[in-house]
A and B are shown apart, each in its own frame.
Chain A
Amino acid sequence: MTPTFRRPRPIALRVIATAAVGPLLALGLTACGGATKGSTDAAASSAAAGSGTSANPNAPTKTGLTVAFLPKQVNNPYFTTSDTGGKTALTALGETYKEVGTTSATDTAGQVSYVNTLTQQQVSAIAVSAQDPGALCTALKQAMSNGVKVVTYDSDTNADCRQLFISQASAEDLGRSEVDLLGKELNYSGQIAILSAAQTATNQNTWIGYMEDELKKPQFANMKLVKIAYGNDDAQTSFQQTQGLLQQYPSLKGIISPTTVGIKAAAQYLDGSQYKGKVLLTGLGTPNDMRAYVEDGTVQAFELWNPGTLGELAAYAAVALASGQITGAQGQTFKAGSLGTFTIGAKGVVTLGQPTVFDKSNIGQFNF
């Protein structure tokens, strides 16, 4: 006699249990009431910029504050430079500096975790370069309601989740100037492509938007943007995407790569291929990374801002906020040490200045 286990019941129990989760959840949800996109109100949360307390420009700059830098990714040379700039500024002011962050540039949960930790530690201010425009919002709002000042730099979040955004250069300036740079090099004719970072990266997408807009101008009538490729800020992916671009569009004349990882990979590929010197590359890169390629002619010119200065400005802004000198409303001004005085623009944006163009003539002067 073959032994029979209680076959029907355990399976039935399992099926019931699994099936029960769904309806249970649905029941709970219907209690919350349904909603569609059209029926929800516009973000009900109050704007963080310029709310409540008024600014006192003459308030003394507090000392002994702790300002934490939370870049997109630690161990990323670009962010190390910017955060070190912040450290210099903070030390000069007599404040305490700290830097925390995730090891991967696509770990939003990790970045949120760090915001929570910093809130816990009751730091005076956080300077964060956001991996994602929306994911940090809940945590940042919680931080702000606990008295922590929030400044974003390099990569912004939604405007109501922070008090200030320190922008490296106006997004418009960056986008348009890169197209202008390439246009000049190509004599305003030819097919071009863009090699970007992650598909979801806020800053890159904003710049690309301005680039596309600039290309609509009459002087670029003979230049055509054929493709936007995404390298995900990974060397090998950027490499293969560059190869793909050149194979898909053999008469490609120029590439814009507005990401330091992408431009490095594209330059390295072009340098070792038959396209060296024939396909022109520009974008955002650091002098140290690009030096070899500028010297051997693979790249004629590229631009960037000084990330160290960006970090410094973010530090000064954070301290000014924490000292009550500004609240983030449009029109307020604050002093940023040797960098000068800055005025807050619309939506709490503070712009560092114009991007710097690097080429053979001036690349030797920089070391970052």
Chain B
Amino acid sequence: MAENPDRRWGGAVRWDTVVGALLVVLIAASFSFVGDFGNALNISFLIGNTLPIAAIALPMTMLVASGEIDLSVGSTVGLSGSVMGVLWNDGMDINMIILICAALGIVCGLVNALLVTRLGLPSLAVTIGTMAAYRGIAQIVLGSNSVTDFPQNYLNFGSGRIAGTFIPDAAIPWLVLAALAVVVLHATGFGRSVFAVGASQEAARFAGLRVKRIKLSLFVATGLISSLTGVFWVLHYASATYDNATGLELSVVAAVLLGGVDFDGGRGTLGGAIAGVFLLGTLQNVMSLVNISAQSQTVVTGILLVISVLGPRAAKQSALARARRTNRSMTPTPSSSFL
């Protein structure tokens, strides 16, 4: 590998490492100084409430790395929940319902994918449209109803913890999913193709990569994970309403961007994205515990987001300046390792 200015300085200027470090520091500080933070109950709250964002951040990271974005995820979560509520009221078996919701998610992802790949439309505009469309359909489907009487053992799965620990039951499937995602993105040819597509779509196509198919599979994966998250959301909060998860997409995008995934495509790691998700989640948890108002939390989120893009640029500028001084040649390479 050619000289990588980031590596030269021990990786300290890589933003995802910074985010990971910030997370560790925050957790350590909170354990020591915030009395109500460091117990099993609170940690389980933190993880449980962050799980939806953490789940969707996995495919979203890959999507952003390939140069696209999906703002319809929150509405897919809501639509999946609404369909779940309606079918449950109609008396369908719960397992059947969950499978239907999964299929629904695939369809939602397909719509986005086809509009972006077949018609060549910008994903930002398309997913703003599908965001409104899916939410609207959720409203038509479920209306003003709120469905809460799901089977108790499923509800327990949605909000329970593994006996005696701080780990929510639902964290296990998420860990499996995260491991799968990390392997696919960072250790397979497919993952490398994703980064290649993000770095330059044209070059990737000329190199023989099936750009359209890659993007299609990413959108479909995002839709599927979103609808499954919708099912989890309903079970976790024991409530299916049409406006579940309104605004979730911005939180996911903010967390992924905070984790150093480059919006221009072609750079980023899942480790960074996951660290970004939990950094934001932990910050909100801790700030609430020390009675910082919701409004101030919003300001902090915004500042972090701005720093997350200015930071790496500033770091790169300083690295380049230093390198220029010592007269070395720089060749940027795409990051393809995690953590």
Residues of A participating in the B interface, judged by any CB pair closer than 8 Å:
2-7, 9-11, 13-15, 17-18, 20-22, 24-26, 28-30, 32-38, 40-41, 43-44, 74-75, 98, 100-104, 106-110, 112-114, 116-117, 119-122, 132-135, 137-138, 146, 158, 198-200, 205
Contacts and interface: CB of A to CB of B under 8 A. Distances in A.
Nearest to B36: A120
A5 B193 contact: yes
Interface residues of B, number: 76
A34 B95 contact: yes
Contacts of A114: 288
Contact of A117 (B173, B177, B224, B285): B285
**Sorted from nearest, which 3 A-B pairs have the closest CB atoms?**
A10-B190, A134-B148, A199-B144
Interface stretch (B18-26, B118-126, B207-215): B207-215
B245 A110 contact: no
Interface stretch (B85-93, B263-271, B300-308, B318-326): B85-93
A121 B289 contact: yes
B237 A112 contact: yes
Interface in B3-41: 36-37, 39, 41
A40 B151 contact: yes
Given A11-B217, A135-B238, A26 B184 contact: no
Contacts of A44: 152
Given A6-B189, A120-B42, A30 B95 contact: yes
A110 B239 contact: no
A24 B224 CA distance: 13
Interface in B279-335: 284-285, 288-289, 291, 293-295, 298
A108 B91 contact: no
20 contacts: A5-B208, A7-B210, A10-B188, A10-B193, A14-B190, A18-B221, A24-B173, A26-B98, A33-B153, A40-B149, A40-B151, A74-B295, A100-B291, A100-B294, A101-B294, A107-B246, A120-B37, A134-B147, A135-B237, A138-B236
B162 to A, nearest CB: 14
Contacts of A122: 36
B295 A18 contact: no
Contact of A109 (B144, B152, B209, B245): B245
Interface string B46-90: 000100100000000000000000000000000000000000110
B242 A200 contact: yes
Nearest to A230: B144
Contacts of A20: 180
Nearest to A201: B144
A214 B91 CA distance: 33
B193 to A, nearest CB: 6
B149 A28 contact: no
Nearest to B183: A17
B146 A134 contact: yes
A28 B99 CA distance: 12
B301 to A, nearest CB: 12
B249 to A, nearest CB: 13
B45 interface: yes
A17 B184 contact: yes
Given A103-B295, A107-B247, A199-B144, A32 B49 contact: no
Nearest to A74: B294
Contacts of B237: 108-109, 112, 134-135, 138
Most buried by B among A20, A34, A44, A103: A34
B148 A158 contact: yes
Contacts of B143: 199
Contacts of B180: 17, 20-21
Interface in B145-167: 145-155, 157, 159
B244 interface: yes
Nearest to A20: B180
Nearest to B294: A103
A128 B253 CA distance: 31
Contacts of B210: 7, 11
A20, A26, A113: residue with the most chain B Cβ atoms closer than 10 Å: A113
A185 B309 CA distance: 60
A319 to B, nearest CB: 21
A21 B227 CA distance: 12
A188 B88 CA distance: 42
B112 interface: no
A18 B180 CA distance: 10
Among B95, B188, B220, B285, the most chain A Cβ lie within 10 Å of the Cβ of: B95
B34 to A, nearest CB: 10
B94 interface: yes
Given A29-B98, A33-B153, A36-B93, 13 more contacts: A11-B217, A14-B214, A15-B217, A17-B184, A106-B243, A108-B239, A108-B241, A120-B39, A121-B289, A138-B155, A138-B159, A146-B41, A199-B139
